[in-house]
Amino acid sequence: MKELISNDSPQMIRILDDVPISENVRSLAENLVNQIDRPVVFLINSDGKANYGNRNPHYQNQFWVTVKPQTKQGEFDRLVLAGLLRGVIDRKRMLYAFPTETFKETIDKYADNHRKSAIEMIDKINATASTIIAESYLEKYGIKTSNEILARLYESKISGLKEYLYLQDESSQKGSLFCWYKETEVQNILDFVNVGRRNKNYLEEIHRILEKTKPKEKRKTYLKQIDSLTAYINEVKEEITAENVEDINEQLLKVILKEFDLEADVQLKYYDLKEGEINVLQIGKAKVYSYIPDYIPNQAFLSRSMRYVREMICLIEEYAGMLDTNHVYPLVAANLIDSNYPSACSNGQKEKGYYISVMRGLFEQIKYRAENVHIAADIEKSFTYYFANDDIRESIYRYAVYFITAHEYGHIFNEDCEPDAMEQPDKEEAADAEACRLLYTLLMFQPKYHSTKIQNKFHKMQLDCVLCKMGIQLAHEFRKEKEGNV
């Protein structure tokens, strides 16, 4: 376990059981994973620049938690949890800082170094807000940045600051004064605030060294910015709760932009969360979302259901193409339609991308059926040895959702959902056949089989096959009962 954290090569892990976190934080981590509306992929020992959690830019259906090697187990645990927390927050309508169009044009004209600094400034502003929110949450569970990490951060900031003073002295002797770009200033001040707000001695020392920077007017501004942001953050941190994170995040970003006079250059926008209206044959217009909107009841259930939809899409995107190189398996985005009507649909086109949208009513009805489906006594008896009864029915539900998703994917794969496709009389049966083919081919690739805990692996596989068949049958019957195309 240890070597994973230190000098090992990067590893992609798809199951929380295999992530080398401490046992005492495992249930908290599991709780967070279960709140994320897409499958989580852990990139451990990443050589990437930052420890972070974000939606994968290529595979939109996955949430990635990236953690660099750490020498301290506690720090590794904290970074995994903070990454997962970002996944929970990502489900909410959170604002992010983006450069305005005019500022983007300005940045493009900058020299390389300057441009890089401007882009990093935007990242730093977003990271500062999300770090404060993640920290405040984790502190409630007693998980804090260790003193060693803070000391290391402080040392690196102080040595950077001393180097800056040296460069300023050297340049002023030559008759010019070396100064940070404004974008570099913002990043540095945010870093100083980040270190100083957690340790008074560090804050005093940062103050003392900054007093030596030139020119005088700038130095005053730096100190004022550090003091007012530190005070604001310490105050707002205490107020964060699960209910107000969106509001606090917005306030925090606005205060940062105002403090650095960036309001004209940086705007706050929602990142990649889409909502709109869709016209569905049976119900007319309905609201469609790429996330779970706050007003919808039963969010945990819908979040889990959308995760199942995305798990199936991920399996297809990642493995179907690998196993079958003769066909193209397009990338697909998943949506939730807020309607009681129990249906699902696929739409889109080659050039613009594809969508699978599932109505809330379909999840609810399929869940009800999975809870009430007859399970033969002998099957139940042999399987409850490995699983709780709830897990058996939840698995049937999950496979039914997999089947529905694969069926919709079948329409995309068979190209009968393209806007100009001719109506094919047997397209529903063809999509079912495609769904069965995909499910049985990909069943083995589910992340759980990558687990190192293999004691019950084969029994679980056997069980999964039976449950999968039940789930498929349930969904298949449901679809056939309904009139019209789904």
Residues in contact with Zn ion by CB under 5 A are: 428, 431, 486
Shortest separation between residue 411's beta carbon and Zn ion, angstroms: 5
- Rounded CA gap, 235 and 230, in Å? 9
Choice between 315 and 486, CB closer to Zn ion: 486
CB of 436 to Zn ion, least distance (A): 13
Distance in Å, CB of 151 to Zn ion, minimum: 59
Residue whose CB is less far from Zn ion, 84 or 431: 431
Smallest CA-to-CA distance from 300 within 93, 89, 34 is with: 34
Q: Which residue has the tokens 């501004």?
A: 221
Closest residue to Zn ion, judged by C-beta, is 486
Least Å distance, CB 415 to Zn ion, is: 13
CA proximity to 247, closest of 90, 54, 92: 92
Is 227 or 418 the residue whose CB approaches Zn ion more closely?
418
Which residue's CB is nearer to Zn ion, number 180 or number 403? 403
Distances (CA, A) of 266 to 99, 132, 259: 4, 20, 12
Four-CA torsion 361, 366, 368, 370, nearest 10 degrees = -170
Among the residues of 140-198, which ranges form H helices? 147-173, 182-196
Q: Please, which residue, 10 or 348, has the CB nearer to Zn ion?
A: 348
Nearer to Zn ion, 253 or 366 (CB): 366
Residue placing its CB nearer to Zn ion in the complex, 90 or 428: 428
Whose Cβ is closer to Zn ion: residue 203's or residue 431's?
Answer: 431
Nearer to Zn ion, 65 or 486 (CB): 486
User: What token pair was written down for 186?
Assistant: 């913002």
H helix intervals, 373-456? 377-384, 389-413, 427-442
Smallest distance from Zn ion to CB 453, Å: 38
Q: Smallest distance from the beta carbon of 94 to Zn ion, in angstroms?
A: 34
- What is the phi/psi pair of residue 56, to 5°? -65, 125
Assign residue 95 a region (left: φ > 0; alpha: ψ between -120 and 50; beta: otherwise). beta
Instruction: Provide the minimum distance between the beta carbon of 423 and Zn ion in the complex, in angstroms, as a whole number.
Output: 12
Residue 483 Cβ vs Zn ion, minimum distance, rounded to whole Å: 12
d(CA 409, CA 432) in angstroms, rounded, equals 10
- Give dist(CA 242, CA 374) in Å, integer: 39
Tokens matching residue 397: 């539900």
108: left (phi over 0), alpha (psi -120 to 50) or beta: alpha
Region of residue 42 (left: phi > 0; alpha: psi -120 to 50; beta: else): beta
- Cβ distance 344 to 366 under 8 Å? no
Report the candidate in 380, 275, 431, 408 with the shortest Cα–Cα distance to residue 338: 275
